[in-house]
């Protein structure tokens, strides 16, 4: 079951939710048909719960939204982008461990 703390990002809310966020944001670019994306999903849910109110954690379906993936040149998924002050500060391509992602988020918050 998906965490209630995972935001759903779209091309329509991207500017407000991601670029305009006053806290760091982790965006998981994914698609329903992507196996590695499904593997990362439970980790994203856990991070959303553990970093609630400190980092906004959310997902953007690349099949339903082409604007943001195009803008950030997302060519393979899963791609995880970390934003701070509306700018990309880290990018991870492919399924990553929870430890690696948590460490990146801790760096983001430092």
Active site residue 73: no
Summarised one tens digit per residue, pLDDT across range 2-18 is 689 999 999 999 999 99
CATH number of 6-109: 3.40.30.10
Among the listed residues 70, 77, 8, 84, the one whose alpha carbon sits nearest the alpha carbon of residue 45? 8
Give the pLDDT mean for 24-45.
97
Q: Given a cut of 90, is residue 109 above it in pLDDT?
A: yes
Summarised one tens digit per residue, pLDDT across range 46-91 is 999 999 999 999 999 999 999 999 999 999 999 999 999 999 999 9
- The tokens for 100 are 């690696």
Of the residues 37, 41, 48, 104, which is catalytic? 37
Q: Return the domain boundaries, the chain.
A: 6-109
pLDDT category at 24 given cuts 50, 70, 90 is very high
Is 90 in contact with 104 (CB distance < 8 Å)? yes
Of the residues 27, 34, 48, 68, which is catalytic? 34
Among the listed residues 54, 57, 49, the one whose alpha carbon sits nearest the alpha carbon of residue 82? 57
Active site residue 71: no
């Amino acid at each position: 079951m998906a965490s209630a703390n995972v935001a759903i990002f779209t091309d329509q809310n991207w500017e407000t939710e991601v670029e305009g966020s006053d806290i760091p944001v982790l965006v998981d670019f994914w698609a329903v048909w992507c196996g590695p994306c499904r593997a990362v999903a439970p980790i994203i849910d856990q991070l959303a719960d553990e970093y609630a109110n400190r980092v906004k954690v959310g997902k953007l379906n690349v099949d339903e939204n082409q604007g943001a993936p195009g803008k950030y040149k997302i060519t393979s998924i899963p791609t995880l982008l970390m934003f701070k002050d509306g700018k990309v500060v880290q990018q991870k391509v492919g399924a990553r461990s929870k430890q690696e992602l948590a460490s990146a988020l801790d760096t983001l918050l430092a």
